[in-house]
C-alpha cells in the first residue's frame, strides 16, 4: 500500500495507473475509520483495479463552534484497516497541501444545501463541495463512493459531479449499524455510556416511522409528532430536525404518497448525530 502525502505525488501516482490503463476507485474520508468506512472500501474494491483512500479532516466544512479541533484521529489504526481492506494507496495530505496560503476559491450549490443539515451548518456543504472537487482533481478516480448516512452530502456530490462535468461514477454505500441499530459514525466515540443509550432514539424513530407509514399514516406532521414524543423520552436529547422530504430535491413533503426520505438530526449531550431512511408507503 502506497502512502502519498503531497498533491503532486498523488497526481503522479494516479497518472501512472491511468497510463497503465488501470481504473481507480476512491473512498474519501476524514479518518478514524469504522465498519461503515470499511464497507465502503469493500464495496469499492471489486469495482476498479486500484482502491484509493484519502484521510483529511477538512477544516472548511467545520463551523466555528464545531468539533474540528477535537475530531477523533488514529492514523496508525486507519492505515492498518485500509491495508486489510485492500486499499492500494492512501492520500494523507496536510492542510497546506489542500489549502495553501492565499487560497481563495469557494464552491456553492444553489438549492440542495438549503435543507436539512444545511440550515444548521451554513458553511458545511460549501466546504464539502470544495474539498471533494479538489480531491477529485487530485486523485482522478473513475468511481467514488460515499455513504448514504450522509444522504444530503451524497445528493450534493451527485449534483456537483453532474454540474462540473466530472467523468466519475458516484456510488452510494449502505448505512452500517451497530447490532442495536445505532448508525456507525466516528462521532459516536464522543458518547458517554448513558448518551450511547439515548443515541438509539434516532434508529428507533426511523423504525417507528416505518411502522406508522406502513400502517397507512400519510400525514408527515402526524408521524413527526410521534417521533418527537419518542425522542423526548430519551435523556439528554435535543432535536435539531425531523424532516420528511423528497429524496431528490430534499424539499419538504406533507403527504406521504410515494417514497420519502426521513432525515433526523438529534444532539445527544453535545454530540450531533444524524440518521435517515428511505420509506415507501
Ligand atoms: O463524509 C466525509 O467524511 C467528508 O465529508 C468527506 C466527504 C470526506 C469530505 O471531507
Do 116 and 208 sit in the same domain of this protein? Answer: no
Does residue 29 line the site of ligand 1, with CB under 6 A?
yes
The string of pLDDT tens digits covering residues 228-279 is: 999 999 999 999 999 999 999 999 999 999 999 999 999 999 999 999 999 9
The average pLDDT across 44-62 equals: 98
Do 53 and 167 sit in the same domain of this protein? Answer: yes
Chosen domain end from 146, 173, 200: 173
Count CA within 13 A, CB hemisphere, residue 100. 4
Q: What is d(CA 25, CA 6) in angstroms, rounded to the nearest whole number?
A: 19
C-alpha cell at 205: 424513530
Judge whether 181 lies within some domain.
no
Catalytic residues: 37
Q: Residue 229 contacts by C-beta under 8 Å, 6 or more apart in sequence?
A: none
Do 87 and 220 sit in the same domain of this protein? Answer: no
C-alpha cell at 59: 477544516
Residue closest via CA to ligand 1's atom 9 equals 128
Domain that holds residue 253: 186-279
Backbone angles phi, psi at 111, to 5 degrees: -110, -50
Of all residues in the chain, what percent carry a pLDDT higher than 70?
100
- Exposed / middle / buried, residue 179 (Cβ in 10 Å: 0-12, 13-18, 19+): exposed
CATH number of residue 265's parent domain: 3.30.1300.10
Q: 212 CA to middle of ligand 1, Å?
A: 33
Assign 182 a pLDDT band (cuts: 50, 70, 90).
very high
Q: Give the count of beta carbons closer than 10 Å to the beta carbon of residue 38.
A: 17
Assign 17 a pLDDT band (cuts: 50, 70, 90).
very high
H helix or E strand, kind and range, residue 154? helix 151-163
Chosen domain end from 122, 150, 173: 173
Amino acid at each position: 500500500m502506497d502512502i502519498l502525502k503531497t498533491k503532486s505525488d498523488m497526481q503522479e501516482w494516479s497518472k501512472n495507473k491511468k497510463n497503465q490503463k488501470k481504473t481507480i476507485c476512491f473512498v474519501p474520508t476524514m479518518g478514524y475509520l469504522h465498519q461503515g468506512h470499511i464497507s465502503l472500501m469493500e464495496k469499492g474494491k471489486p469495482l476498479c483495479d486500484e482502491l484509493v483512500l484519502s484521510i483529511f479532516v477538512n477544516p472548511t466544512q467545520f463551523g466555528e463552534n464545531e468539533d474540528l479541533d477535537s475530531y477523533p484521529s488514529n492514523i496508525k489504526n486507519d492505515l492498518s484497516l485500509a491495508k486489510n481492506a485492500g486499499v492500494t494507496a492512501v492520500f494523507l495530505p496536510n492542510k497546506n497541501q489542500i489549502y495553501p496560503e492565499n487560497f481563495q476559491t469557494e464552491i456553492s450549490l444553489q438549492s440542495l444545501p438549503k435543507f436539512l443539515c444545511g440550515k444548521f451548518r451554513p458553511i458545511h456543504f460549501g466546504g464539502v463541495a470544495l474539498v471533494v472537487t479538489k480531491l477529485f482533481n487530485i486523485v482522478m478516480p473513475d468511481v467514488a463512493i460515499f455513504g448514504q448516512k450522509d444522504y444530503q452530502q451524497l445528493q450534493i456530490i451527485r449534483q456537483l459531479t453532474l454540474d462540473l462535468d466530472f467523468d466519475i461514477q458516484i456510488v452510494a454505500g449502505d448505512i452500517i449499524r451497530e447490532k442495536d441499530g445505532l448508525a456507525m459514525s466516528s462521532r459516536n466515540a464522543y458518547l458517554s455510556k448513558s448518551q450511547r443509550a439515548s443515541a438509539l432514539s434516532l434508529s428507533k424513530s426511523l423504525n417507528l416511522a416505518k411502522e406508522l407509514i406502513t400502517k397507512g399514516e400519510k400525514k408527515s406532521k402526524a408521524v413527526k409528532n410521534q417521533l418527537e414524543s419518542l425522542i423526548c423520552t430519551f435523556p439528554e436529547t435535543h432535536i435539531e430536525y425531523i424532516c420528511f422530504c423528497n429524496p431528490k430535491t430534499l424539499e419538504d413533503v406533507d403527504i406521504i404518497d410515494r417514497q420519502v426520505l426521513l432525515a433526523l438530526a438529534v444532539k445527544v449531550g453535545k454530540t450531533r448525530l444524524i440518521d435517515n431512511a428511505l420509506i415507501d408507503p
